[in-house]
Amino acid sequence: MEALRQKKESPSKIVSVATPKKAKQFAVIRMCGCVKLRSDFEDTLRMLNMSRKFMCVVLDATPSVLGMVRKVKDYVTWGEVTPEVVITLQQKRGEKIKDREGKEVLKPFFRLHPPRGGFERKGMKVHFRQHGALGYRGTQINDLIKRMI
């Protein structure tokens, strides 16, 4: 998909420049279990393909997906993932299944281990900005995924 942007070089001349729009990818990891979880949060996590603790999904950054992730921010951690980490996830933790046509495809989620070296300083119940493990962590999600593979 390309977005067109118009650039004025002179008052009488308008040149249109095509700039490709890069879709950012986010990795979302479920950090908390499901005991005493409100049903709307549980449904949102199920829509994101995260039914268990330490499940990871790689999603495109669309407004609807980001809204769902922000809704369950107290149960997940997320951030921008690099293509190298996505390839490593697919190679080491990707599970293949057969679809209806008999083709082998990867499952839409990855099952991860708890992180080597433990969680951040204050543990799993505190947000990342307060030195915990939950919430938005930007590009530092890549370090966490590498420790969990």
**pLDDT tens digits, one per residue of 10-42:** 455 444 444 344 568 999 999 988 788 899 999
- The one-character DSSP state at 127 is B
> Is residue 27 within a helix (H) or strand (E), and if so which, with residue range?
strand 25-30
**Per-residue pLDDT, 120:** 74
Q: Indicate the residue type of 116.
A: R
**Per-residue pLDDT, 118:** 84
**Per-residue pLDDT, 35:** 85
**Per-residue pLDDT, 37:** 86
The pTM score is: 0.78
Scored b (16 or more CB within 10 A) or e, 91-111 reads: eebbeeeeeeeeeeeeeebbe
* Among the four given CATH numbers 3.40.50.11740, 3.30.1390.20, 2.30.40.10, 3.40.309.10, the one describing domain 23-148: 3.30.1390.20
**pLDDT tens digits, one per residue of 107-116:** 999 999 999 9
Q: Which residues pair with 112 in a beta bridge?
A: none
> What residue ranges do the domains of the chain occupy?
23-148
**Per-residue pLDDT, 19:** 35
**pLDDT tens digits, one per residue of 59-74:** 998 999 999 999 999 9
Helix, strand, coil share (%) of the chain residues, nearest 5: 30, 30, 40
Average pLDDT along the chain: 84
